[in-house]
Amino acid sequence: MNQLKTELSANLTMNILSYWSSKMVDNVNSGFYGRIDGNNQVFPNDDKGGILNARILWTYSSAYRVVKDTAYLRLATRAKDYILAHFIDKQYGGAYRSVNSKGEPSDNRKQTYTQSFFIYGLAEYYRATGDNEALAKAKEIFEAFEKYALDRESNGYFEVFTRDWQRTHDRLIGERTINDEKTMNTHLHIMEAYANLYRVWPDKRLADRLKNLVEIFLDKIIDKKSSHLICFLDRKWNSTSTMDSYGHDIEASWLLYEAADLLNDPALLARVKEASIMIADAAAEGLRTDGSMVDEKNTSTGVVRTERSWWPQAETIVGYMNAYELTGNEKYLDNSINCWNYTKNHFVDSKAGGWFTSVSESGVAGSGDKGGFWICPYHNGRMCLEIIERVSSR
């Protein structure tokens, strides 16, 4: 495991973070560029996504907290300052989904998924620096969530709102149908955000809301037969999904345990430990003999999407390391190490820097964007940081 830590430390600092800091800093309009393609060409006039900027904030904040390099603090502060100046809606609260290259709102809708990452990133910045302004903004978004996004009739959280928090039925997560009122993905990242906020603000009401999210996963989102996550659901939590998403399965297996572990509730943690291992075992259906994790399966047709994406590999490495730590079973450690061996040989761009975002079944890297609205240093950067911290604490 020390070898794994050494390799991931190098990949974090000399590949992932160096790529983003050298390519994506917008010195003309401030903040960070909104897109860089597979040929490492930036698009300075493209919109700047809220998810991208919040995840950049989280990544560099966490990197500074763990690695202690002040260069990462400067970039984290740059992200925080830009978010507070351009993304936070000072009139209605919450944050915009995107701004244009000049920092003006281009999509002023309040997407619950996007809001969660602002909480996640701002809480991490406070965790790394003690900056009270960041914590205050994270709390404000939490309060807006609980005021506007909470489904008081059926529990859980709604997906999308207008700027002034009126519900809409816009489809912003996946291939959704009109009946998909709830998504696994949104609830996963609200739970992740609330957990990180609770680390730095152990508020009783926040603890109750975090526990509620953990129980939603245990009781509503984990399929009782397959142990896969149900990706799409109606308002009453009936499945409308026809997909098993292996990357989300393995990601949830460790994020769920992380959240429950903060709550000092032994009975809940015991339930979550059992569920986490069951989810990790279900996700193993997506593992291939080369160590990689495929994307997903259509449960109606049985067709597997065999393209490998960058983020499921990162989550596989963390998720099976977590399963190993919970059980001591070496097969999970092997899954983690084998996936990294595949990833470093296929996804890591050792020439130009950064990671490729897709690899074909035959092992050929795709030419898609390396950074954009959904593509950021969060999954792979977090994976490196998680392994560094986990191995260091042993």
Output the pTM of the full model.
0.97
| Pair of tokens at residue 63 | 């990197």
CA nearest to 8, candidates 341, 268, 371: 341
Q: Phi, psi at residue 328, to the nearest 5°?
A: 75, 5
So what's the pLDDT on residue 104? 99
- Letter for the amino acid at 305? R
Residue 174 CB partners (closer than 8 Å, separation 6+): 183, 185, 231, 232
| pLDDT of 175 over the 90 cut | no
Rounded CA-CA distance 1/387 in Å is 9
CA nearest to 118, candidates 32, 213, 62, 197: 197
| pLDDT of 179 over the 70 cut | no
- Letter for the amino acid at 113? Y
So what's the pLDDT on residue 180? 72
Span 261-266, average pLDDT: 98
Q: How many domains does the chain have?
A: 1
Q: Which residues of 151-178 are buried (b: 16+ CB within 10 A; e: fewer)?
A: eeeebbbbbbbebeeeeeeeebbeebee
| pLDDT of 178 over the 70 cut | no
- Letter for the amino acid at 183? T
Domain around 170: 2-392
| pLDDT of 71 over the 60 cut | yes
Residue 87 CB partners (closer than 8 Å, separation 6+): 50, 53, 54, 95, 96, 99, 118
Residue 267 has a CB neighbour count (10 Å cut-off) of 7
Output the furthest CA–CA distance in the chain (Å, rounded): 53
Distance between alpha carbon 45 and the CA centroid of its chain, in Å?
Answer: 26
User: Which stretches within the chain are classed as H helix?
Assistant: 2-11, 17-23, 50-67, 70-82, 112-129, 132-144, 184-200, 204-216, 246-261, 266-283, 310-327, 330-346, 378-392
| pLDDT of 88 over the 90 cut | yes
**More confident of the two residues 260 and 176:** 260
Per-chain mean pLDDT for the chain: 97
| pLDDT of 70 over the 60 cut | yes
| pLDDT of 246 over the 90 cut | yes
Query: Per residue in 9-45, pLDDT tens?
Result: 999 999 999 999 999 999 999 999 999 999 999 999 9
DSSP letters spanning 239-276 = B---EEEHHHHHHHHHHHHHHHHTS--HHHHHHHHHHH
| pLDDT of 302 over the 90 cut | yes
The three-state secondary structure class of 377 is: coil
Task: pLDDT band for 138, please (50, 70, 90 cuts).
Answer: very high
End-to-end Cα separation, the chain, in angstroms: 10
CATH classification at residue 297: 1.50.10.10
So what's the pLDDT on residue 394? 87
Span 218-240, average pLDDT: 97
CB distance 156 to 182 below 8 Å: yes
- Letter for the amino acid at 108? N
Rounded CA-CA distance 185/261 in Å is 20
| pLDDT of 332 over the 90 cut | yes
Span 102-107, average pLDDT: 98
